C-alpha cells in the first residue's frame, strides 16, 4: 500500500531525474524506477539484478540469467492496460529496440536513458503495472 505522501515522493523522484547522470547498474532506467517502487511499497522488483552489471552488455546478460524486466515486474505487480496507468505506476517504453522501465505521471511517463532524462506520452508505452 502506498504511503499517504506518495504524490510528494513521486514528484520529488521525477524531479530528481533531470540532474542524474546515467550509470549502468547505479542510475539507469531500472534502478531509477525500482528505487521509487521500493520506497513506496517496500518491494524491490530488481533485487536480484542490483550489483550484477555495469554496462549495457552486462545488463543484457543479467536479463538472460534472471529474466526480462517485464517478467520480473509481473512477479510483483498486476499488469494493466496502458490507458489505465495512473500516477506512480510503472511503465515500459521501447527505446532503440530495448525495454526501458519508467514512471507514469499521468499524461507523460519519465525514463532515465544514456542520453539523459526522457519524457514520453504515457499512451506510447508498451505495457504498465499497477504499483501499490
Looking at residue 27, its pLDDT comes to: 93
Per-residue CA distances from 57 to 35, 53, 83, 89, 115 (Å): 22, 8, 32, 27, 17
Where the chain has pLDDT below 50, the residues are none
Q: Is 79 in contact with 125 (CB distance < 8 Å)?
A: no
d(CA 30, CA 46): 7
Angle 121-27-6 from CA coordinates, rounded to 5°: 60
Looking at residue 95, its pLDDT comes to: 93
Phi, psi (deg, nearest 5) at residue 54: -140, 15
d(CA 130, CA 83): 12
CATH superfamily of domain region 6-130: endopeptidase domain like (from Nostoc punctiforme) (3.90.1720.10)
Looking at residue 125, its pLDDT comes to: 98
Amino acid at each position: 500500500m502506498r504511503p499517504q505522501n506518495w504524490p510528494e515522493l513521486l514528484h520529488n523522484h521525477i524531479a530528481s531525474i533531470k540532474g542524474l547522470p546515467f550509470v549502468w547498474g547505479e542510475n539507469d532506467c531500472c534502478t531509477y524506477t525500482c528505487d521509487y517502487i521500493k520506497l513506496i511499497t517496500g518491494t524491490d522488483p530488481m533485487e536480484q539484478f542490483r550489483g550484477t552489471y555495469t554496462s549495457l552488455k552486462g545488463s543484457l546478460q543479467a536479463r538472460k540469467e534472471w529474466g526480462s524486466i517485464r517478467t520480473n515486474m509481473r512477479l510483483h505487480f498486476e499488469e494493466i492496460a496502458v490507458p489505465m496507468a495512473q500516477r506512480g505506476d510503472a511503465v515500459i517504453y521501447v527505446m532503440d529496440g530495448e525495454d526501458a522501465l519508467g514512471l507514469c505521471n499521468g499524461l507523460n511517463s519519465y525514463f532515465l536513458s544514456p542520453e539523459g532524462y526522457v519524457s514520453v506520452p504515457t499512451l506510447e508505452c508498451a505495457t504498465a503495472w499497477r504499483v501499490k
